[in-house]
Structure 1
Amino acid sequence: MYKLPGNAGVSVFGDNSLKFYRDPVSFCQQRIEKHRSRVFQCRMLNRPTAFICSVQGMRELLCEKSNLFLKDPNDLMTNMYGDTVVTTNGEEACLLRLSLTSLFTGGCLGSSSDYITSVCERCLKDLSLSGQPECVYSAFKRLGTELVLGLFLNIRAEEQPDLFQEIMQLCTQHWHGLISAPVNLKVPLWSSGFSTALDARDKLMVIIKDKLENDTQGFVGSLGSLPLPDSTSASQHLLLFISALIPKALASLLTSFTLALSGNKQARLRAMEDPDYLRTVLLEVQRLWPPFIGGRRIADQDTTIAGFPVPKDYGAIYISHSVHRDPEVFQQPDNFLPERWSGRNAGQEHFLCSFGNGPRSCIGTKLTDVFLKEACMYLIKHYNWCLDPPSQDLEYKWLPVSRPANPPTISFTRLDLTRSDRSDTN
């Protein structure tokens, strides 16, 4: 067994959190090169921490040894959402997952299809109407927000515009609690970001509880009838499902998709005619530009990751961006090559960790896949598009959700859906 490369640092002064948050991708790449290892250690959140940047290490952390690594009970997610399937550990997490999984599979998933189609039609049909370039990230975030509020709370933007706007604003304020210092402070005429987020959470909970008490239809009605641990569990999970986290992740992936196929008419046409090719494009988008940088666990006992010792109480962070570019698994790891998923990497989708992996992976992954395919298919059926202006700074920022640091603008041209006309479109 090899010594874990790197240095765990000393308390407080040896902490690397700020360096990591400034540029997590460069932070990890520099240390991978320095230590010649895709597993290394440093001090993060004032705790000795193993960074996992390889497919093998990620699979051990999240799958084979998932029972040895716990979610941090002091994580900000717990402060903002309470005890949910995302934040709990052990038997409680397993029971919550069993109860909730039925809402994201089978008939429940199928019944969402018509609504997803209608949201895509309503939100995407006017992308070319103004004749001006669109800030696509904002447009896709609105699309994701309409999706989650309609699916999970039965609130349609076109039917209840005022309530929709109120909840959307509260969700944005609540989201800022995840990216603010956890300081709950109020003084006359000023509140800390964390304090504002907690206030937004309380207001959202009032709306959610009213829905649970009075709405028996759809997802909210089904959730209210599930065998959950206590009376607050349903409302806490609804808060999680409608949070800005999901629309931002969807907007991230859709933005990366439009950038990847910008100006590439041949690839768009092939994706429209071949569902399997569209599937490989979306896998490659997810591989290169995962919406979340990774996730964090705490070692519950002494163990190993990829042959390196990880002592009890060490943190363990998997870095999706680095895992997805592991050259041991993905040849030409920095290149956009959708064909890899029908060739060398066929059947290896489980090597991705955009939404976690293993027994604690996101329970909404299938719903996310359905939505992304529907939205992307609508775009390639109805539009050609290109960067406008053609030269833009597309360097990504990776926290809190990945997207170009300067929001890109894209011009959309509506397609005539007849084949002869479409083939002549530039």
Structure 2
Amino acid sequence: MSKLPGNAGVSVLGDKSLEFYRDPVSFCRQRVEKHHSRVFQCRILNRPTAFICSVQGMRELLCDKSNLFIKDPTDLMTNMYGDTVVTTNGEEACLLRLSLTSLFSGSCLESSSDYITRVCERCLKDLSMSSQPECAYSAFKRLGTELVLGLFLNVRAEEQPELYQEIAQLCTQHWHGLISAPVNVKVPMWSSGFSTALDARDKLMEIIKDKLENEKHGFVGTLASLPLPKSSSASQHLLLFISALIPKALASLLTSFTLALCGNKQMCQRAVEDPDYLHNVLLEVQRLWPPFIGGRRIADQDATLAGFLVPKNHGVIYISHSIHRDPEVFHEPDSFLPERWSGGNAGQEHLLCSFGNGPRGCIGTKLTDVFLKEACMYLLKHYNWCLDPPSQDLEYKWLPVSRPINTPTVSFSRLDQSKSDRSHSS
């Protein structure tokens, strides 16, 4: 057992939160190189914090020793969403997970597939229509929003356009306020972002509660009938499921997929013909460009991670970007190599942590996988695409969701030109 490399600093003055949030990838890379260790410590959020940048450390934290590390009960997510499967600990988290898992698997998942197919076609069929290149991230975020609101809340953009737009706008206000400074201030003519988020949350909760009371079918109807521990659980989880978090994660991954295959017709053709290869491409996209930078826990007692002592009450942050590039596990870690998942890393999908891992991993991973494969297959079957203009700065920002700092623009051209011509003439 070794002491954590690095320095936890002194209270307040030694805090490195601003430096970390400004550029978490550089922050971790510099310290890994400095300490010659993929586990180190700093002071973040004014708490001594262990950073986990290795696959071994992540697996211990999220799987083997997950019972020794808890979600922070004072976390902002708890304040905004209440007691949900994401924010609770212990027995309550287990019970919630057992109740909700059925919504994201089996017959519930199968019943969603036709709707997902229709929305992908409706949202993606006109990508080649404009004379201007598409802002890929924005187009994919619209797709994600339609999927989420239609599946989870039974609000379809084509059937209830006004209600759909109202909810989409409220979700955006809620998200932007959530990631602003948590200061609830209102004065005449101005409200803080966090205050606006709270107002948006209250309006969303009114819509959600009305849906839970009156809808008897679909996801919302099934959720209302589940044996949840608190009367507010269903509405709090629906708020979580329809938040801008999920559309932004989908938009992040679809944008990275589009950029990774830009101009590579051979790779695109292979992905169309071979579902296993498309699966490997999406694993590699997720590995190199995870939508979320990681997650945070608090040590509930003294514990060890990757051979280092983590004292009780220390924070622990796992960094998915760094973990996914651990050279001990991934050969040529910075290279886009889909074939690694049928070669040296075959059967090692469980070493990724884009959506968490272990017993607290995201319950919607299978649904997300269906979303992504359906959207990507539509793109591959119907379009060629390229960066327009060809030279663009594709450097990524990683918070709150990963995507290029400068939103990339992409030109799409239909593979079936005669179909495209008919669409233009109709």
Which TM-score band (shorter chain)? over 0.9
Equivalent residue, structure 1, for 2:318: 318
Equivalent residue, structure 2, for 1:155: 155
Q: How many pairs align? A: 418
Equivalent residue, structure 2, for 1:421: none
Alignment partners' CA distance in 2, 1:352 and 1:130: 37
Question: What does residue range 138-287 of structure 1 map to in structure 2 within 5 Å?
Answer: 138-287=138-287
Counterpart residue identity of residue 54, structure 2: S
Q: Are 1:373 and 2:373 matched, yes or no?
A: yes
After TM superposition, the structure 1 stretch with the greater mean CA deviation from structure 2, 200-209 or 169-178, is 169-178
1:359-411 C-alpha deviation (Å, 9 max, x unpaired): 00000000000110000000000000000000000000000000000000000
Question: What does residue range 63-142 of structure 1 map to in structure 2 within 5 Å?
Answer: 63-142=63-142
Alignment partners' CA distance in 2, 1:417 and 1:359: 48
Unaligned runs of 5+ in 1: 419-426
Counterpart residue identity of residue 70, structure 1: I
Alignment partners' CA distance in 2, 1:264 and 1:412: 13
Alignment partners' CA distance in 2, 1:119 and 1:39: 43
Shift of 1:178: 2.4
1:285-307 C-alpha deviation (Å, 9 max, x unpaired): 00000000000000000000000
Counterpart residue identity of residue 5, structure 1: P
Alignment partners' CA distance in 1, 2:49 and 2:223: 37
Alignment partners' CA distance in 2, 1:417 and 1:400: 39
Equivalent residue, structure 2, for 1:43: 43
1:208–1:238: 8 Å Cα contact kept in structure 2? Answer: yes
What TM-score comes out, normalization by structure 1 length? 0.97
Shift of 1:417: 8.7
Equivalent residue, structure 1, for 2:304: 304
Alignment partners' CA distance in 1, 2:203 and 2:295: 28
Alignment partners' CA distance in 2, 1:375 and 1:278: 12
What secondary structure is seen at the aligned counterpart in 2 of 1:177? helix
Counterpart residue identity of residue 265, structure 2: K
1:397–1:403: 8 Å Cα contact kept in structure 2? Answer: yes
Shift of 1:214: 0.3
Counterpart residue identity of residue 314, structure 1: H
Unaligned runs of 5+ in 2: 419-426
Alignment partners' CA distance in 1, 2:178 and 2:58: 24
What secondary structure is seen at the aligned counterpart in 2 of 1:48? strand
What TM-score comes out, normalization by structure 2 length? 0.97
1:20-44 C-alpha deviation (Å, 9 max, x unpaired): 0000000000000000000000000
Alignment partners' CA distance in 1, 2:183 and 2:9: 26
Equivalent residue, structure 1, for 2:19: 19
1:382–1:417: 8 Å Cα contact kept in structure 2? Answer: no
Equivalent residue, structure 2, for 1:422: none
Alignment partners' CA distance in 2, 1:25 and 1:417: 42
User: Post-superposition, which runs of at least 4 consecutive aligned residues in structure 1 deviate over 2 A?
Assistant: none
Equivalent residue, structure 1, for 2:412: 412
What secondary structure is seen at the aligned counterpart in 2 of 1:410? strand
Equivalent residue, structure 1, for 2:424: none
**Aligned-residue CA RMSD in angstroms?**
0.8
